[in-house]
Each structure stands twice: as structure tokens, then as C-alpha cells.
Amino acid sequence: MYLFHSSKGGNGTTVVTASCALAEVAQRPRAVLVDLCGDIPAVLGMAGPVGPGVNDWLAENSTADADTLLHCGTTIESGLLVIHRGAELVEGTPRWSLLAATLATFPAAVFIDAGTRVIGDDMFHRAQRNILVTKPCYLSLRRATFLRRPSHVVVTSESGRALTSKDVESVLAAPVIATIPFDPAVARAVDAGLFPARCLQLLGKHLPQM
């Protein structure tokens, strides 16, 4: 289970999470991509999902089980199951502990796009990797220092930034496992609905080894 999160929006968390999931299914039969923020369908060129999703499953009074969670998803790209966000908000106290335990039983790698969402401690600590996605900028790093310490960091770099990946490691006290350069071709592929087909060509050599 790999949890991707960020200290602020615009750092590329959704694109990085989706890319790592697509890279996984290019090598293995199946992977699961959990969309906690609602942005995955747009990045993958999917139709807007209809019906319940993980936020509905998380509701305090929900009795939904693992099979129900699996039915909240759509399978694309030869084995990538995308579990949709569903409702915008969770009713009551989210069942984070149960979600963490349920995802841990899935017989495939699970990639979670948490974005800037605040998640439960069980989710954070049960993940094999808690990966912070950040640009090497002062504002992102300053906010990140107030969050729980990640186990690993992915840097999305832009030309002209004064800070380096080494600076990011020093500030966050966590290793940078990948530096992904900004490429306008990625945005064009997303806009055209072609990102799944072009992901590995555009970003494959930059992605972390999971």
C-alpha cells in the first residue's frame, strides 16, 4: 500500500500517483488506485463516475465491507481498478482504521491519492510508503514541516527553482526517491485524454521504483 500526499495543491500528486499505478499494471496483472480527492478520472480520461465511492464507504454508520469497496471502482488499462471518491464529504467520523485494514487484504499493490486531505493515523502508518509529493519551493516545504513526517519524497521540479532535491531531503529529513521534471507534454496528454497511453513514454524513466 503506497500513500501519496502533499502539503498543498498544484504539486502534481494525482499525476504522480496515477503514473505509479499505471507503471505497476504494465509489469503485473493488477493494481488498485484509490481516489480520495476526485481528480483521478480527469487525469486518466475517464467518464465522470456515478454512484457511491470510498467516501460513502468511509461513513461512520456505513456497514459496507471489502466486496462493496471493490464494487465502487472501474477497471481500466488491463487491470487497473480505480476506486472512485463518491460523495464529496464523509458523513460522521471516517472509518480510517477499517479502510486501512481492508486495503491491506487486497491481493495487489494499492496506490492512494490523498492529495492534501487529512487522513487517519492508521492509514498513514499502515502504508508501506508514505510519499510526500512536493515542488522544491519554500511555501510547500514550510507547510510540509507541520505535517507528519513522510517515509519518502518525490520532487516535481521546475526550471528556475533555487532549491534542490538535497535541500528538500535536508528540510524534511526523508529521502527523495524520484525527481520528476516538469514537462508540458504531460499536461497536453491529460487534456487530450491520452495520458494512460503516453504515461510511461513521458514519465517512465523518472518514476520511483516501488
pLDDT at res. 123: 94
Give 179-189 pLDDT, tens digit per residue: 999 999 999 99
Q: What whole-number distance in Å separates Cα of residue 150 and Cα of residue 130?
A: 5
Apex 14 CA angle, 8 and 15, nearest 5: 120
The residue with greater pLDDT, 95 or 48, is 95
CA atoms within 13 A of residue 34's CA, in its CB half-sphere: 27
pLDDT at res. 66: 93
Model confidence at 155, in pLDDT bands (50, 70, 90)?
very high
pLDDT at res. 76: 87
pLDDT at res. 78: 77
Length of the chain: 210
Per-residue pLDDT averaged across 56-76, rounded? 94
pLDDT greater than 90 at residue 48: no
pLDDT greater than 80 at residue 176: yes
Grid coordinates 469497496 are at which residue? 69
Q: Let me know how many helices (H) and strands (E) the chain has, helices first.
A: 10, 8
The mean pLDDT value of the chain amounts to 94
pLDDT at res. 159: 80
Give 8-43 pLDDT, tens digit per residue: 999 999 999 999 999 999 999 999 999 999 999 999
pLDDT greater than 80 at residue 199: yes
Per-residue pLDDT averaged across 64-69, rounded? 94
Distance set, CA 189 to CA 79, 157, 179 (Å): 21, 19, 20
Give 84-118 pLDDT, tens digit per residue: 999 999 999 999 999 999 999 999 999 999 999 99
**Mind listing the domains of the chain with CATH numbers?**
2-206 (3.40.50.300)
pLDDT greater than 90 at residue 161: no
Percent of the chain with pLDDT over 90: 91
CA atoms within 13 A of residue 91's CA, in its CB half-sphere: 11
